[in-house]
Amino acid sequence: LEMFFDASQQHDDALVKSVEKLFASCVPTQASHDQKKDSPPWVLFRWGSLTAFLAYISAVQVRYTLFTAGGLPIRAVCTVTLEEIAGEAPRQNPTSGGIVPRREHVVVHGDTLAGIAYAEYGDTSLWRAVAVV
């Protein structure tokens, strides 16, 4: 995505501040760092009413094209690389996302906790663990 910045009417540091904001948006936020999931801030890219998607800015390149007599940049072209943030995939069936059982045991009349412990773990002394489950 190319962005054109023109501050030729202002002759101040507004363009520099705008470009610095773009570069800052590539840095992981403190909140994401605290959660040990470093991620730059998310942005919502909107192109009129046609397109909108959630993304993060992964790279910024800037080319300054016009300067004041004092050397202050007042015109620039920025190339911004956006990476779309994938939404949650739709579930395929009603049980999607549920806990996947490792194994099962059907309790029938006459079963005891010690008997189930022996059948499942080979040790009758583990009946308390079965009782918790």
Question: Mind listing the pLDDT tens digit of every residue in the chain (133 residues)?
Answer: 899 999 988 878 889 999 999 998 888 877 777 777 777 888 888 888 777 888 888 899 999 999 998 899 999 999 999 888 887 666 666 666 666 666 677 888 998 989 888 888 888 888 888 887 6
Query: Taking a C-beta distance cutoff of 8 angstroms, is the pair 53, 45 a contact?
Result: yes
**Distance linking the first and last C-alpha atoms of the chain:** 55
Q: Are residues 80 and 109 in the same domain?
A: no
Structural domain contains residue 97: no
Write out the E strands in 48-110: 51-67, 73-84
Q: Which domain holds residue 35?
A: 2-84
> Do 62 and 14 sit in the same domain of this protein?
yes
The number of domains in the chain is: 2
Instruction: Please check whether residues 70 and 109 belong to one and the same domain.
Output: no
- pTM higher than 0.85 for the full model? no
Helix (H, G, I), strand (E, B) or coil at 76: strand
